[in-house]
Structure 1
């Protein structure tokens, strides 16, 4: 790598040769990981929600939680910084983000994000060829940008399992609004609808991510 290359040129070269489109090669590995541990992955996701339904039901029995209106699955950038793919799942009553009674569980999506974390470790080694023009901070920013692609894969996985979640005994037992909807996105930020109530999803999610 030429020592005469400036920071911007070095970054362009680094992205072009070592980052752009590389995530597509991880899709095969992610699919293999999923198929190899399909039952475990799906059951661990469902188990996290079973814990959430139970927690919400107990709070309702105690009178500290109203009927559930919104389930929000949060993508946590801070966990990505620590090479963990942890999602926080919250159950909110009609007060939504003003709901004072915390009802949340955590779920790990490492089977999707593991290839990303490994690639970023490899980039740390490759950057030495760029005469300090590429820093660990640059790679951290790249990781956060690349992670969004993997988050979208996680959202599709979640969406595929929603029908199972809605049939669970814990979900049926929990008191919930007829307008309940499940959302996934960054913590209290832009999100996608995983499950809209057919009659009222637009009303429930109006303004989300605005």
Structure 2
């Protein structure tokens, strides 16, 4: 009887309520995440200050890892707080990390709302579903809400990585900022790699097309021009001021990849997944982005299987003569971009933000022209 009740509760109460709550968080995140980043940045600043103080006073080794960790014990106690740690190259084996905390109530108030909804509906099962059952369900489902903390952390690090408190730290040549569960799996939301590396060696390595190897990697000021990197999985990688001109990047996974002011002139990205990729400040003259997929938001707005993708960003990019035909660029941001002679045939542009100065110039269809947002 209890097993049947639990199965019914899961199907008809838990999963619909979880989906509704996550869709509500998705909508609020889309509208309010810019404001929510300040709390993450401040928590990051504070742990950097603590670590720098330790370095000055006690000769603490260079920092290699800054980790934001979800604490299930805190969640069970109703405390919306993550542990923040700055550690040297020993990471979890560092016996003297610097500590801080991060208030995640912006995300976990939705978890509390879900818990209350489940508690209110449990009595209908006449004692078969008790409060500890609800608490176990909440601990299980919390990881879905945690994914928004990861997404926000990645967004916030665009600013946090420029903080003087971080730049003044004695840092290891490789630095990672990670978000995950305490002493468990975590995801890189920022990586810095200042190791001296030879352009030709890195280029040859990328051309090997190894599986599960290049995602979340960081490449700094490397000349990788003319390479064949097609079909590589480069999701959430960082290419900072790199030369990638005339390179083959067709059918790559470039989800969340940052090309920060890199040179992609004449490169071919046709058919690649570019959801949430950042091409801000990049040279993309004559680049091919034909058939790329980079729509913003949920795959299916009526359902939830993961947080929606951020917008693809082409802020201040030079797309002169670029081919964006047949691309799905819904919600993409082209603020202050150069778009002369770019090709848009068949591109999906719903909600894309384009410079108003190109309103009468771009060869868009009537449907495309009505779907975009023109911004001064």
Instruction: State the TM-score, normalized to the length of structure 1.
Output: 0.85
Q: Match of 1:178, SS?
A: strand
**Distance change in 2, residues 1:15/1:45 (3 Å):** same
2:5 corresponds to 1:10: yes
Partners of 1:37 and 1:179 in 2: CA distance: 28
The offset of 1:33, in angstroms, is 6.4
Match of 1:194 among 168, 175, 189: 189
The offset of 1:127, in angstroms, is 1.2
Q: Match of 1:60, SS?
A: helix
The offset of 1:104, in angstroms, is 1.1
Q: Match of 1:19, SS?
A: helix
Partners of 2:23 and 2:38 in 1: CA distance: 22
Corresponding residue for residue 44 of structure 1: 39
Moved >6 Å (runs of 4+): none
The offset of 1:75, in angstroms, is 0.8
Gaps of 5+ in 2: 196-212, 217-376
Is the CA contact (8 Å cut-off) linking 2:173 and 2:193 kept in structure 1? no
Partners of 1:176 and 1:196 in 2: CA distance: 12
The offset of 1:147, in angstroms, is 0.6
Match of 2:177 among 155, 173, 182: 182
Partners of 1:142 and 1:156 in 2: CA distance: 23
Is the CA contact (8 Å cut-off) linking 1:64 and 1:101 kept in structure 2? no
Corresponding residue for residue 35 of structure 1: 31
Corresponding residue for residue 124 of structure 2: 129
2:109 corresponds to 1:148: no
Is the CA contact (8 Å cut-off) linking 2:76 and 2:135 kept in structure 1? yes
Aligned residue-pair number: 197
Q: Match of 1:196, SS?
A: strand
Is the CA contact (8 Å cut-off) linking 1:74 and 1:187 kept in structure 2? yes
Gaps of 5+ in 1: 1-5, 206-210
Corresponding residue for residue 19 of structure 1: 14
**Which has the larger share of helix?**
1
- The CA RMSD over aligned residues, in Å, is 2.2
Instruction: State the TM-score, normalized to the length of structure 2.
Output: 0.49
The offset of 1:29, in angstroms, is 3.3
Corresponding residue for residue 110 of structure 2: 115
Is the CA contact (8 Å cut-off) linking 2:37 and 2:155 kept in structure 1? no
Corresponding residue for residue 98 of structure 1: 93
